Amino acid sequence: MKIHEHQAKQLMSARGIPVPMGRVARSVDEAVAAVRLLMEESDSRVVVVKAQIHAGGRGKGTFKEHPDVRGVNVVTAGIDGGPQAAEEEVGVLARKMLGSTLVTIQTGEEGKVVNRLYVEQGVDIARELYLAVLLDRASSRNIVMASTEGGVEIEKVAEETPEKILRAEIDPAIGLAAFQANELSHGLGLEGDAADNFGRFVKALSDAATQLDTDLIEINPLVITSEGAVLALDGKMAFDDNALYRHPDIADMRDETEEDSAELAARNAGLNYIKLDGTIGCLVNGAGLAMATMDTIKHVGGEPANFLDVGGGATADQVTTAFQIITKDPNVKGIFVNIFGGIMRCDVIAEGIVEAVGRVGLEVPLVVRLEGTNVDQGRRIIEDSGLKVTNADSLRDGAEKILELTEGDAR
């Protein structure tokens, strides 16, 4: 699960990890009000207005409705004009940003609607660094990744100058050791107060990762101020969904407006669904087989409309919900059901399909491939139902048949 920058900073701040002062704003009035509060609390005359969406690249992203406005805006009017000038400019920005669609390299062309802003104190930046805590699969541990190349995409650094990325493995029994923090700050070329502050920062951050069950914490940039303070200028956190049950406060931070409505409905029904851009809907048991089904459709010349894993023990109700979700997608020109029954019995799936079609209706061609436990009963149930269903003998056969039936539309 992803959360917004302002929520990540709230969690960091609660753990003593320094972040700039800021206020979240859901309306123009709240954004304007934040300016005076921030100027009273800090001596900074500069404020930054940041769009809150679950995607990176906001600083370079622009709004569809207002191509001149970026996702992150530095307001300097307060330096000469005082708080009132800053308020006016923030008001103009907030009016343009709220409710508009921000397009960044990570949102895709459709962009994301901005429903909240974060108004933050401007910071005097001496250096920009990169810092992250994430899982390293090879060592089966979380690692700290740090780099002197802050403010740029870390993938680019990894590709072009991998020697500029420092790593430290976090031993789950010990946490990040003091010497490791020291090695990192030395490697980043930090000295004096900045080195000490960084050491405390990275230790607190790595502890937070373990205690909060994060998938990823990424701070890009981490800034060193001219006084040697270390601050998280940006903050991105994603959490392990499987561990959310022990963090109800974090689970409550979920912003459902950031999620695709069909994906949300699927999750609530215990299904795993991801919408894609193609025309052939798929309903499969097992994540690996579901991916492989998409691949096979593509291989024979079609385009999958979705990934959908009904899981190992789907009920007739779940199959019905799955059909509803698939048929709701206006791009879908045909459906391919691919089941290899292990524990999942083919007769149960067949009953589910018959029931689903009865309830939802079927206006597009349907190809069903059943294999595995109780396959004969399953096939008989579908035959006896009188439904217009095409049977397939194998995954590939099924993919070819559904393509044929949707031919013309699918290509």
CA–CA gap between residue 288 and residue 284 (Å, rounded): 9
Residue type, 258: E
Site for other proteins (CB under 8 A): which residue of 16, 41, 394, 407? Answer: 394
Q: Which one of 242, 248, 330, 388 is in contact with other proteins (CB under 8 A)?
A: 242
Catalytic residue among 5, 218, 258, 351: 218
Quick one: which segment of 17-25, 197-205, 303-311, 321-329 binds other proteins (CB under 8 A)?
Answer: 303-311
Q: How far apart (Å, rounded) are the C-alpha atoms in residues 208 and 170?
A: 12
Neighbouring residues of 67: CB distance < 8 A, sequence distance ≥ 6: none
What 3-state class would DSSP assign to 269? Answer: coil
Q: CB nearer to other proteins: give 77 or 133.
A: 133
Separation of alpha carbons 231 and 224, rounded Å: 7
Nearer to other proteins, 124 or 393 (CB): 393
Closest to other proteins by CB, 142 or 320: 142
Binder among 5, 258, 309, 351 for other proteins (CB under 8 A): 309
Minimal distance, residue 278 CB to other proteins, in Å: 9
H or E element: which one contains 106? none
Q: Does 395 bind other proteins (CB under 8 A)?
A: yes
Q: How far apart are CA 102 and CA 71, in angstroms?
A: 7
CA-nearest of 253, 257, 190, 277 to 225 is 190
Rounded to whole angstroms, how far apart are CA atoms 374 and 133? 47
138 belongs to the binding site for other proteins (CB under 8 A): yes
The closest alpha carbon to 24, from 2, 3, 1, belongs to 3
Q: Is 67 in the site for other proteins (CB under 8 A)?
A: no
Which runs of consecutive H residues, i.e. helices, occur in 329-408? 346-360, 375-384, 395-405
Per CB under 8 A, the segment of 69-77, 88-96, 114-122, 132-140 that binds other proteins is 132-140
Candidate residues 166, 253, 269, 294; the one interacting with other proteins per rule CB under 8 A: 294
- Site for other proteins (CB under 8 A): which residue of 15, 26, 64, 299? 299
Question: Is residue 118 flagged as an active site residue?
Answer: no
Residue with tokens 């789950």: 172
Q: Is 252 in the site for other proteins (CB under 8 A)?
A: no
Helices (H), 213-345: 248-251, 261-268, 287-299, 316-328
Is residue 352 within the footprint of other proteins (CB under 8 A)? Answer: no
Pattern 74-113, binding to other proteins, x per CB under 8 A? --------------------------------x-------
Per rule CB under 8 A, count of chain residues that contact other proteins = 56
Going by the DSSP 8-state scheme, the letter that residue 6 receives in this structure is H
Per-residue x/- track, 188-227, other proteins (CB under 8 A): ----------------------x--x-x------------
Residue closer to other proteins (CB basis): 222 or 266 = 266
SS3 134: strand
Tell me if 200 sits within 8 A of 208, measured CB to CB: no
Q: Which of 191, 295, 376, 384 binds other proteins (CB under 8 A)?
A: 295
**Are 70 and 59 contacting, i.e. CB atoms less than 8 angstroms apart?**
yes
Pick the stretch among 65-73, 280-288, 314-322, 358-366 that binds other proteins (CB under 8 A): 280-288
CA 361 to chain centre: 33
Which one is catalytic: 130, 258, 273, 351?
130
**Between residue 321 and residue 350, which ones bind other proteins under the rule CB under 8 A?**
340-343
Query: Hey, how many other C-beta atoms are within 10 angstroms of the C-beta on 141?
Result: 12
Q: Which residues contact 410 (CB under 8 A, 6 or more apart)?
A: 278, 279, 280, 301, 302, 303, 333, 334, 403
Catalytic site includes residue 130: yes
Before 221, cis peptide (omega within 30)? yes
Stretch that binds other proteins, among 19-27, 182-190, 281-289, 376-384 (CB under 8 A): 281-289
Enzyme catalytic residues:
130, 218
Which residues make up the interface to other proteins (CB under 8 A)? 106, 135, 137-138, 140-142, 154-155, 158, 171-173, 210, 213, 215, 240-243, 245-246, 272, 274, 276, 284-292, 294-299, 304, 307, 309, 312, 340-343, 371-373, 394-397, 399
